[in-house]
Structures are given as structure tokens and as C-alpha cells.
A = this chain, B = another copy of it.
Amino acid sequence: MAKKHILVVPGDGIGAEVTTVGKQVLEVIAQKFGHEFTYDEALIGHVAIEASGSPLPDETLTKMRAADAVLFGAVGHPKYDNDPSAKVRPEQGLLKMRKELGLYANLRPIKLFDELLGASSIKPEILRGADILFFRELTGDVYFGKRERIDEGNTAYDTMIYSKYEVERITRKAFEAARTRSKRLCSVDKANVLESSRLWREVVQALAPEYPDVTVEHQFIDAAAMLLIKDPKRFDVVVTGNLFGDILTDEASQIAGSMGMLASASVGDNTGVYEPIHGSAHDITGKGVANPMASVLSVALMLDISFGLKAEAEAVVNAIDGVLKAGYRTRDIADTTTPSELLLGTEAIGQKILEQLSN
């Protein structure tokens, strides 16, 4: 029996709707497998700014450090997006959390459930069998370098910066994962232009001899963005920097049919944080139509990576599979052939997932 304390941090927009389902899944898992999970909740992002003025209140950070794992929703609000001069922004909470918790490795598995072959804009024959594991570096790069307005506000810069140890620790994780999979690692950079990318490539090249069983290839980010769509099966484990990882993994969501299906694990030295790749999606917030599966699959990653509960993680993935096999769909993964009685909202499809789990 495992005893674990989980902090739920719904954040903004659809974050609350989807983590509600994620938490219910944890409850059923605890019951079914005889674990003791305790929960707490905390604020981040826009809702935290509204409540306290800070996008990441100290209280939230303290609770995160004390937890065995964090189930995270999303942050962001259109109000700030359309006001480039806003000084306090929801995303600052997210970035500060990543930095403070040392979450340098963001794992984003991209795998298509067979039932969703038709839901993607990409042809089924291109997709079938695609299975990619992204390692996105999460605490460096242009996300954390110095940024400033100069020249009386007429010029702005950000600093894209990497140190060798940062590249090394994420690359080692990627190499180790590649070992347990098809032994292919692709490192993505822009070494034909950027000095930080040349440093990146140097580090990957220097580590490669320690993993002689893994075949390494290097791709430029522009080529990678193209190849990912052209031939997703050529990729197995991909390691890349923070910005390129942000772009590639969102793009790769089309391989999984929808952003609503993609979970991620952010790990490092402390508490792991588990969250959907999708954002706060204010356009559908409160409508009860958000797909909770990315949050549920984030729970599966939590059970597996933070708690080492493999069978439990598998049960969660199988429950999703069962729901999809039974034909149930949320809007984002439905197609024109989906009968309306199988088209469910967040809560209803959540119930189906819980039923599958309880079986």
C-alpha cells in the first residue's frame, strides 16, 4: 500500500474542469488498489493573481514542495495576451514553478490510440505505429535568460542561453529512455545559426560514446518541424531545448489526434508535476466540453513516474482505451461519423472513464 500526498493545482480556464476528472481517477485508483492518497489544492496563474496579486503565491510553492506529486491544470488568460505591457502575467507563475522545483525535464509521450486514427488531420497510414517520446528541457533557454526593453522602449531582447550541465542532464535522461525503447535518439537544434545550439550539439555528441547502443541523429528545428508531419514514425526519442520543445510538441499533438489527448510529466530534483499539454482554452471554459483525457493520462504518468505504480498506470491507460473503444468521444476527437449519443461532455466522459476503471 502506498501513502501519497497529491497537490491539485487547477490554474486557469479549463484547468479546473479537467483536473476534477483527474482527481476522481486518483480516488478510484486508491480505492481499487488499496492505496492511501491525500489531497490538497492551491492556486496559480490568473486565478492566483486575482486572489493574491501573485501568479505563484508562496503558499502554493510551499505546498508543492511538501507534496509527493502535483496534478496541474493550465495557466493563461486572454486579458494578458492582448495587453503586451502587463507587468504581472499568469505564465510567470508557471515558469517560476518550473524553476523553483527544478523541473528541468519535461516528458511528452506522443502516442495515438488506435481508435483515434481518423481524428487527426494526418493520413492514417502515415500515423499508424507512430510513438514518440519528447524530452523537452524546461528550466533554461530563452524562457529564463535576461530580457529587457532598451533604446527608450523601442527595442526588446531575450537571451537564449544554455550551459553544458543543463544540456547534459536532460540528454542523459533521453539516452536512458532511448535504451529502453527502439534505441534511436534525435536531438533537435539550430546549430547552423545559433551558438547555444552548437553548444547543445557538442554536449550530445560528447555523451553519445557512453551510449553506444543508441543511434543518434541531429536535426535542425525547421527540418524537424517538417519531418514530424511528413514521417512521424522516423522519430522515437527526441531531445530538445525549451523553446523548440514547446513548438514541436504542440505540433506533434496532431499525431495523437488532438491536444486533448496529450499528457506531460515535468520532473527534476524534487516533486514531479503532471499536466496536460493543452492550455487554459478560455474559448471553451465553463462549457463542459473540454476533453479530460490529457489530465487523466497525466495521472497515469504520475502513478508510473513519481509513485512507481506501473499496474495502476496501466489500468488508467486501459480505461481510456476502453472508453474510446466503446465509441465515446469529446468534441475535439469526434468526427463526422460519431453518433450524437456517443458525443459526451467533460463530466459524462469522465464518468465513463471511472466506470471502466471500476470494472
A160/B160 contact (C-beta < 8 A), A81-B192, A147-B195 known:
yes
A225/B251 contact (C-beta < 8 A), A155-B161, A160-B142, A162-B155 known:
yes
Chain A residues numbered 91-105 whose CB sits less than 8 Å from any CB in chain B: 91, 95
Chain A residues numbered 191-227 whose CB sits less than 8 Å from any CB in chain B: 191-196, 198-199, 201-202, 205, 218, 221-223, 225-226
Name the one of B89, B126, B250 contacting A192, with C-beta atoms under 8 angstroms.
B89
The reply to whether the CB of A253 lies closer than 8 angstroms to some CB of chain B is: yes
A163 & B155 in contact (Cβ 8 Å cutoff): yes
Residues of B within 8 A of A201 (CB): 84
Shortest Cβ distance from A121 into B: residue: B126
B164 & A95 in contact (Cβ 8 Å cutoff): no
B225 & A225 in contact (Cβ 8 Å cutoff): yes
Q: How far is the CB of A124 from chain B (nearest CB, A)?
A: 9
A258 CA to B229 CA, complexed, in Å? 11
Name the one of B247, B249, B254 contacting A230, with C-beta atoms under 8 angstroms.
B254
Q: How far is the CB of A251 from chain B (nearest CB, A)?
A: 4
B81 & A199 in contact (Cβ 8 Å cutoff): no
A222 & B246 in contact (Cβ 8 Å cutoff): yes
Residues of B within 8 A of A228 (CB): 251
A198 & B84 in contact (Cβ 8 Å cutoff): yes
Residues of B within 8 A of A341 (CB): none
Q: How far is the CB of A77 from chain B (nearest CB, A)?
A: 10
- C-beta contact mask, A107-133 vs B, less than 8 Å → 1, else 0? 000000000000001110010000000
Q: Give the top 7 A-B pairs by smallest Cβ distance, nearest first.
A: A84-B198, A222-B250, A156-B199, A157-B161, A147-B195, A225-B251, A155-B163
